[in-house]
Structures are given as structure tokens and as C-alpha cells.
Amino acid sequence: MATRFRKPLSLARREALAGYAFIVPWLIGFLVFTVGPMLASLYYSFTDFNIIDPPRWVGLDNYIRVFSGIPEYLMTGDPRQLGDPLFWKSLQVTLYFAALALPLNLLFSFILAVLLNQKVPGVNIWRTIFFLPSIIAGVAVALLWVRILNPKIGILNVFLQDVVGIARPPGWLQDPNWAVPALVIMSLWGVGGSMIIYLAGLQGISTELYDAAKVDGANAWHRFWAVTLPMMTPVLFYNLVLGTIGTFQYFTEVYVATSGTGDPQRATLFYNLYLYQNAFRYFDMGYASTMAWILFVIVLTLTALIFRSSDAWVFYEGQLRGK
Amino acid sequence: MKRIPGFFAWLFGSVQGHALFFKGITTLLLAAGAVIIMIPLAFMISTSLKDPAQLRTDNNTLIPRKPQTVTIEGESYNLYQVAVDGVTREWAMIKKAPGGMAFFADPARPTEQVQLKLSEQTALFRLDIHWENYAEAVTAMPFLKYLGNTLLVTFVGMAGMLFSSSLVAYGFSRFRARWLNVFFLVLLSTIMLPSQVRLIPLYVFFQNLGWVDSLLPLIVPQFFANAYDVFLLRQFFMSIPLELDDAARIDGANPLQVLLHIILPQARPALVSVGIFHFLYAWNDFYEPLIFLHSRENWTLAVGLQTFDAIYTINTHLVMAVSVLMIVPPILLFFLSQRIFTQGVVISGVKG
């Protein structure tokens, strides 16, 4: 037995080892910066942890704080019955923003992409102009919009008063009813980001399809419904998934616009902002970890839901439906 | 085959006329949209160049300007364009009078005053651009310090990301092994992972290392490959013909040499595009610097600008000046690399 030669590594085995060697940086990063922290935050979510003292196991307390009081709330309609009314408020704010911003973004960016896909003079200049705002996102843009949306001296309200003739335009970021719509307007400025993706999708549609439709006598309107829209659904779908997940991560704009408070009257207390406040203002790291895991489950569920429902309406090229 | 004329063809009598009509409408819509899109940017630039006094007056137009004045006997008066006896003249407004009236006079003969309705006369303005706002803004905050920190985070992070992500993308695109496919699926799934779910333990971890309130938590993780960039690079590497690898292998090159001498030179457009995306991300990022950097001298521009606004918010012209400085590098980069840039968006967007 002992005298048996060790077989030289086979070619396949050497190839495998080299492959593993090259992905080592990611493997280490994945374990240290993803798997480890995820497990730790799952553990923290069952503890009371203020970062100075070691975490103290409290079982399901954090989760009970989130989910308790729902039946009482449904009976009485009094949000004070909820274990943490602000958690639900933040969920409501986030979903309200998503319900306004995502369809509007989809509509505007898709229309823009269709327009920019025509052979019009100066098309490259138009594309550049519409795309520009999406690359300068962040603090500077939020500070700019806070000034544009200023109820008294901002140019939007000056325009609404002097040109449109609205006597008392909204208070935007200072009015609890208008703060989220104001942030939606701010986000629509960056519509060029998804526009450019739709544009690429439109340009990827083979002209043969349009030619075939023309031969069949389809007019521009028919061609749009029968060729453009079905061919674009994968891209629309992709943007919808990313947009929904993005809303739950929405942070910089609202932090800058409200100095991290989520005011007025918590009308802009987005989920991610409330999570940040719990973790780094109140140092309630255990509860913040619970929120992070609930967020994780929400994002996972949304992604799965959208992927499942996609079968019904997403059309992939080359996918033939035998009837 | 006879074409059935559509409504527009019927209206314009010909198919060409109808196409032209549509082009006209499209161009008009695009021009209107472009104006709306550019107004905020124009507002930012013009505000950054204004005299703060103009920001507080009714004269707060888009163009930085101030009233034209004339000095008569040591006193300064605003100039107006007035119509007297059907002739338009440039006269000084000497003083206001009750009932929306005012006294006007030719600056050459200030004593011969005429009373006219103020609202019917046009005030004269001249361009008033204050470049010194920029100098004032960058000295009112430690701008260079913030800029240095931002450049450090951006470019060291970019180097780390490019180095590690190309190694990993190479591993995932050129080798066959049972677990590689599984690992690649795991990597793809982490793209969707919300960062909050690992943020708090990472904070604790970096605090135990003594790295909180330094630039290290923003830089070091970049050296361990980023799932999104690995994915983009791998897609590109897959499109490079395998024959090139084989030729190099026959010449005795080892896998690392193949990566360095064959793959990376071929993949330059992809590396540039991933690098640009990283620049934009790191330059604009606010969330992580806000969490990990505490003391003033460690801040990046994003955090510095937000805090500057919190203190200097009434000095809108200064805040906008720093904002302009902050958006100039991304815009410059965009114009310098427009073609590669849009291709990158297309690869990441459509193939995703």
C-alpha cells in the first residue's frame, strides 16, 4: 500500500484547482463581509444590544415589538395599539412612495425611450441631456431640490403661482401630505437612468419584426402594441424588480431633505431611515437588526413574487408558446 | 396592394407628410422635456454665481444680475427705462411717492423731476456674476481635505475592485469545476441582497478592529471583489474567443499569464466601464461614509457637503457652489467616456 505512487493531478483536477484559486478573493469576502455578518445580525435580532454592553438574549421580544397589537389596531383603528407604530408608519411611507414613483418612472422613461428611438434631428444631444441628471445623484442633487421645492421662494411654486395660476401651491417638503410627492418629483428628475436601459432594449428589437408587421399591413400603433411592447417586457420587468428593491433602500435624498428626521410629522420616515435611526441614533442595534431581517424577507418575497408573476406577462424572445 | 390610409395620411394627404408631422411632434416634445430637465441644473449654477443680496429680493431671476445704478451728487439711484412724451429715456428713480408713483429725473438734470407710475416703468439691470463665491465656499469648509478623502476612497477602492473582480471573473469564466457553477449562483444571489442585513455586524466588526472613523471600512472590502462587477466582467470575458487562451497556453503561458496578457488587454472597454461605475458610486455614496466616518477631518465630500448645508443653509449661494463642484467630475467623466459609458449601461441593464 505504502509504495503506491501518488497519481499526478489530472488535467481536469488542475483546472478545477486553478479556478477555485482565482475566486478566493470573493470567497473570503463572501464569508467575512456577507455570511458572517448576516448570521451575526440574525443573532442580534434576538438580543438587546446597544454596542457598548455585550448583546443580551431577549428571545422574540424585538419581533413581538413589531408584530404585537395588530388585532387591537384592526378593531379600534388606533395606531397607538401597535407595538411599534413607527415601524408600520415607515412601511406605509415606503410603499406609498413606491406606488407613486415606480409607475410614473416607468411611464416617463418608457415614453422618453420611444421618442428618443425615432430618427429625429439632434437625437444624441437629447439623449445626453435626459441622461445627465441620473449620473449626478446624491447629496448635491437633494440640496438643489430642497431649494427648488421651497414653498415660498422655490422656483417650482413661483412657477405654479405666476404661470399656472395656483393661488396656494403645496408646501411640498414642509407639508406632511405633500412631502412624499415632493420626493417623487425629485426622483423623477433621474428618469434618464431607466430610459437609457429601455432605449437599449428598443434598439435590440430586430427590424425584421417591424418589416414583417409592415408587410402584414400593421400601422405604427399596431406595430407598437404587437412588436415593441411584447419585446420590451423583459426589460420593463427587470427595472420593476430593481425599482421595488431600491425603494426599500431609499435613504440619501430623504436624509438630506429632512436632516435625517423623517419629518414633517414623520411623513417621510422611510423604512431605511427608521432602521438607520434605530441603529445609529438610538443605538438600539438589536431592534435595528430585527428590522434588517424583516427587510431582507420583504425583498426576498417581492423578488420571488415578481419573478413568479412574470410568467404571465413577460415575453422572452425565442420562447415559443405551442398551442 | 393598396394601403389603407391612416388618419394622419388622410389628413396630410401623403405618407411622407404624416411621417414629417410625427417627427415634428417628437422633436417638440423632446425639446420641451429637455428644457424642464435642464432648469434645475441651470438654477444650481446660476445660484452659485449670485450675490446673496439678490437671493433675498424680488429680483431673484435665473440670470445673476443687479439693478443698474447712477451716481448723482454722491448718492446712488436705480436706473429705469421711462417713457416721457412718447420717447423712451434712461432716467434715475429719485424717490418713491404714495399711490405707486415715483419721481424720475434725467441724471444730467436731477432737479427737473417727473412723477410717473412706478409699475409702468422698466427697471434696468446688469449682469452680476460672483466667481468669488467659489473661493469663499471652499475656504468656509475644509474642501481640499474632503476632496482628498473622497479621491482616496474612490481610487484606491477602484484599484482594489478592478484587481480582485478581474481575478474572480476570470475564475468564473475560464475554468470548469463542479462547485464553480454553484458559487456563481451564490454570487448572483448576493447582488439582490440588501446591505442593511449585514451592516450592523460589520460596524461592530470594524469597531473591534479600530477601523471605525477611518477610511478603511470604505476601502478594504473593495479588495474582495464586488458581485455586480464580477458579473459584468465575467459576461465580457466570456465573449473573448477561447482560441486566444489556447494559443498562449501552447506557448507555455500559465493561467495568470493568460489573464494578464490575453484577457485583460482584450477586456479594456469592460474594465473602463466597470471603473466608471465604481467612480460614480464611490464619489456620490453618502450612506456608508455617514455611518463609518465620525470626525470632521475624515469626512468625504458627500458627508461634508450635507453638514455644510446644515450649518450654512441660509448661504444658498455657497452651498450651491460646493454642489456644482461636486457634480463637475461625474459630468466631465461622462462626456469624456460617453460611448463606453452608454455601452456599459446597456450591458448591465439589458443582459441583467
Task: Establish if A256 touches chain B: CB-CB under 8 angstroms.
Answer: yes
B303 falls within a domain: yes
Q: Is B253 in the same domain as B306?
A: yes
B211 falls within a domain: yes
Q: Is B350–A200 a contact, with Cβ atoms under 8 angstroms apart?
A: yes
Candidate from A130, A235, A238 with C-beta closest to B37: A130
Confidence band for B303, pLDDT divided at 50, 70 and 90? very high
Q: Is B214 in the same domain as B261?
A: yes
Task: Establish if A155 touches chain B: CB-CB under 8 angstroms.
Answer: yes
Q: Is B277 in the same domain as B336?
A: yes
Domain residue limits at B82: 69-123
Number of domains composing chain B: 3
B52 falls within a domain: no
Q: Is B30–A126 a contact, with Cβ atoms under 8 angstroms apart?
A: yes
Candidate from A37, A143, A259 with C-beta closest to B202: A37
Task: Establish if B253 touches chain A: CB-CB under 8 angstroms.
Answer: no
Q: Tens of pLDDT along A116-163?
A: 888 888 888 888 899 999 888 789 999 999 999 988 888 888 888 888
* Separation between Cα atoms, residue B291 and residue B282, nearest integer Å: 14
- List, in sequence order, the alpha helices (H) in A224-284: 229-249, 252-258, 271-280
Q: Is A262 helix (H, G, I), strand (E, B) or coil?
A: coil
B-contacting residues in A 52-111 (Cβ below 8 Å): none
Q: Is B196 helix (H, G, I), strand (E, B) or coil?
A: helix
Q: Is B264 in the same domain as B295?
A: yes
B327 falls within a domain: yes
Q: Is A288–B200 a contact, with Cβ atoms under 8 angstroms apart?
A: yes
B128 falls within a domain: no
**Please, is A58 exposed, middle or buried when counting C-beta atoms within 10 Å of its C-beta (0-12, 13-18, 19+)?**
middle
H/E stretch holding B81: strand B75-84
Considering the four listed CATH numbers 1.10.3720.10, 3.40.50.150, 3.40.225.10, 3.40.50.9100, the one that applies to the domain covering A86-313 is 1.10.3720.10
**Please, is B126 exposed, middle or buried when counting C-beta atoms within 10 Å of its C-beta (0-12, 13-18, 19+)?**
exposed
Whole-structure pTM value: 0.86
Q: Tens of pLDDT along B52-108?
A: 877 777 667 778 888 888 888 778 888 888 877 777 888 888 888 787 788 888 888
List b or e across B75-99, with b for residues whose CB sees 16 or more CB atoms inside 10 angstroms: eebbbbebeeeeeeeebbbbeeeee
* Chain A residues with CB-CB distance to B207 below 8 A: 51
Candidate from A19, A38, A140 with C-beta closest to B326: A140
Nearest chain A residue to B288 by CA: give it: A252
Whether omega before B64 lies within 30 degrees of 0, making that bond cis, reads no
Q: Is A120–B197 a contact, with Cβ atoms under 8 angstroms apart?
A: no
pLDDT at A281: 92
Mutate to test the interface with A, among B224, B258, B279, B324 (most CBs of A within 10 A): B224
Task: Establish if B10 touches chain A: CB-CB under 8 angstroms.
Answer: no
CA nearest A39: which of A271, A289, A219? A289
Q: Is B84 in the same domain as B27?
A: no
CATH code: domain of residue B323:
1.10.3720.10
Can you tell me which residue has the cell 471573473?
B169
Residues 6+ apart with CB under 8 A from A270: A90, A93, A94, A97, A250, A251, A254, A262
Q: Is B166 in the same domain as B276?
A: yes
Q: Tens of pLDDT along B187-241?
A: 988 888 888 999 999 999 999 999 999 999 999 999 999 898 999 899 888 888 8
Q: Is B81 in the same domain as B214?
A: no
The HSE-up count of residue A107 (CA atoms within 13 Å, CB side) is 7
B63 falls within a domain: no
Which of B89, B123, B157 corresponds to the end of one domain?
Answer: B123
Nearest chain A residue to B303 by CA: give it: A139
* DSSP assignment letter at B88: E
CA nearest A190: which of A142, A238, A255? A142
Q: Is B159 in the same domain as B271?
A: yes
Q: Which amino acid is at A103?
A: P
B-contacting residues in A 277-306 (Cβ below 8 Å): 279-280, 285, 288-289, 291-293, 295-296, 299, 303
Confidence band for B146, pLDDT divided at 50, 70 and 90? very high
Would you say A204 and B350 are in contact if contact means Cβ atoms under 8 Å apart?
A: yes
In this model, does residue A111 exceed pLDDT 80?
Answer: yes
The HSE-up count of residue A306 (CA atoms within 13 Å, CB side) is 17
Q: How far from A296 is each of A48, A300, B190, B199, CA to CA, in Å? A: 20, 6, 12, 12
Q: Is B91 in the same domain as B163?
A: no
B130 falls within a domain: no
* Separation between Cα atoms, residue B14 and residue B25, nearest integer Å: 17
CB atoms inside a 10 Å sphere around CB B209: 12
Q: Is B175 in the same domain as B323?
A: yes
Task: Establish if B339 touches chain A: CB-CB under 8 angstroms.
Answer: no
Q: Tens of pLDDT along A265-317?
A: 899 999 999 999 999 999 999 999 999 999 999 888 888 877 777 666 666 55
pLDDT at A312: 64
Candidate from B26, B221, B338 with C-beta closest to A29: B221
Q: Is B132 helix (H, G, I), strand (E, B) or coil?
A: helix
